[in-house]
Amino acid sequence: MAQPRILILGAPGAGKGTQSAKIADYFDIEHITTGDALRSNKEMDISHLGLEYDTPGEYMDQGELVPDAVVNAIVDEALSSADGFILDGYPRNLEQVEELEEMTDLDIVIALDVSEEELVHRLTGRRMDPETGDIYHVEYNPPEDPEVEDRLVQREDDTEETVRERLRVYDENTAAVLEYYDEDGRLERVDGEQPPDDVWEDVKETVEETS
Ligand code: AP5
């Protein structure tokens, strides 16, 4: 089998990052994530675009989408050097869907379904290890090593106020992306509200059956 080209969709906190890391590892494919790419370039000067803000970080810290021109270029470059991949965080609106259709053909589109209250609980309790990038949760998935626990940080956009705004932006823009892939018959839904290992079993089975 050629390396699969997979898209994972879901609201903020649905577990896209958690499952993408497992998918990348298991199927030996690249994890392309616009969220991480933008976090590494939060201070990038985009003033030449003449938009509302001059850096990606100003959009992100308020829970708003970074302008398409910036994100499309990041994904285009990442995809051009990838054979198989798991794409996480893109497309987030129908304009980005159109761009992606020009860039590549997808084999599988997976959507993780999780209720809104669970999403808020997950995001406000999420912590990240700045040294390894590993994702934890204060309640569901705390680190065993106290040294790791001491160095954990919270993402700046994981405060309750910004989380609520990110969910509003998701409903306004990204719900239509799921509908698009659902209507063309490519969308495979997975219950993302189960424990992480059970979600992984379903995701793995879905990829293996579909590709
Ligand atoms: P991005 O980084 O993509 O954030 P997001 O989509 O909001 O998703 P998250 O990373 O918050 O959640 P996730 O689904 O990966 O969940 P995770 O696995 O961490 O984007 C951030 C910002 O960048 C955007 O707001 C925007 O500004 C900008 N941006 C990015 N892409 C863009 C684009 N295409 N266009 C424009 N702007 C863009 O899990 C969450 C927590 O839950 C963790 O603590 C985890 O341990 C826990 N958890 C995971 N699974 C489970 C489970 N099954 N049970 C219990 N807990 C679980």
For each of the chain's 211 residues, which pLDDT tens digit applies? 589 999 999 999 999 999 999 999 999 999 999 999 999 999 999 999 999 999 999 999 999 999 999 999 999 999 998 999 999 999 999 999 999 999 999 999 999 999 999 999 999 999 999 999 999 999 999 999 999 999 999 999 999 999 999 999 999 999 999 999 999 999 999 999 999 999 999 999 999 998 7
Atom 53 (ligand 1): residue with closest C-alpha? Answer: 196
Return the pLDDT at 1. Answer: 59
From the candidates 5, 16, 22, 127, give the one annotated as an active-site residue: 16
Find the 56 Cα to ligand 1 centroid distance in Å. 16
What does the pLDDT read at residue 210?
A: 86
Q: Which residues pair with 190 in a beta bridge?
A: 112
Crossing angle, helix 196-210 and helix 16-27, to 10 degrees?
50
Residue 12 CA to ligand 1 center (angstroms) comes to 4
What sign does the CA torsion over 105, 37, 152, 154 have? negative
Mean pLDDT value across the chain: 95
Q: Which of 5, 122, 126, 127 is catalytic?
A: 126
> Which amino acid residue places its CA nearest to atom 5 of ligand 1?
12
Judge whether 42 counts as a catalytic residue: no
pTM above 0.90, yes or no: yes
* Residue 75, amino acid: V
Q: Does 166 show up as a binding residue in the annotation? A: yes
> The tokens of 194 are what?
């189960």
Contact (CB, 8 A) for 181 and 109: yes
What is the chain's Cα-based Rg?
A: 17
Q: What is the pLDDT of residues 128-182, one digit of tens each?
A: 999 999 999 999 999 999 999 999 999 999 999 999 999 999 999 999 999 999 9
Q: Is 69 annotated as a binding residue?
A: no
Q: Which atom from ligand 1 is nearest to the alpha carbon of 135?
A: 46
Element counts in the chain: helices (H) and strands (E): 10, 7
pLDDT at 193: 97
104: alpha, beta or left? (left if phi > 0; alpha if psi -120 to 50): beta
Q: What angle do CA 55, 163, 127 make, to 5 degrees?
A: 90
Consult the annotation and say whether 42 binds a ligand: no
Two tokens, residue 14 = 């649905």
Residue spans of alpha helices (H) in 28-174: 34-39, 56-60, 68-80, 94-103, 116-124, 146-151, 160-169
Is residue 32 a contact partner of residue 85, using CB atoms and an 8 Å limit? yes
Domain ranges across the chain = 5-210
User: What is the spatial distance between Cα 206 and Cα 208, in angstroms, rounded to a whole number?
Assistant: 6
User: ipTM surpassing 0.85, yes or no?
Assistant: yes
Ligand 1: list residues with CB < 6 Å: 10, 12-18, 34-35, 38, 59-60, 63-66, 71, 89-90, 92, 96, 122-123, 126, 135-137, 140-141, 157, 166, 195-196, 199
Q: State the distance from the centre of ligand 1 to the C-alpha of 111, rounded, in angstroms.
A: 13
Backbone dihedral region of 32: left (phi > 0), alpha (psi from -120 to 50 degrees) or beta?
beta
Which position among 151, 155, 189, 204 bears the catalytic label?
A: 155
CB crowding 51-74: b at 16 or more within 10 Å, else e:
eebebbbbbbbebbbbebebbbeb
Name the DSSP class of 47. G
109: closest CA among 184, 163, 170? 184
**Helices 175-183, 94-103: crossing angle, 10 deg rounding:** 50
**What CATH topology corresponds to 5-210?**
Rossmann fold (3.40.50)
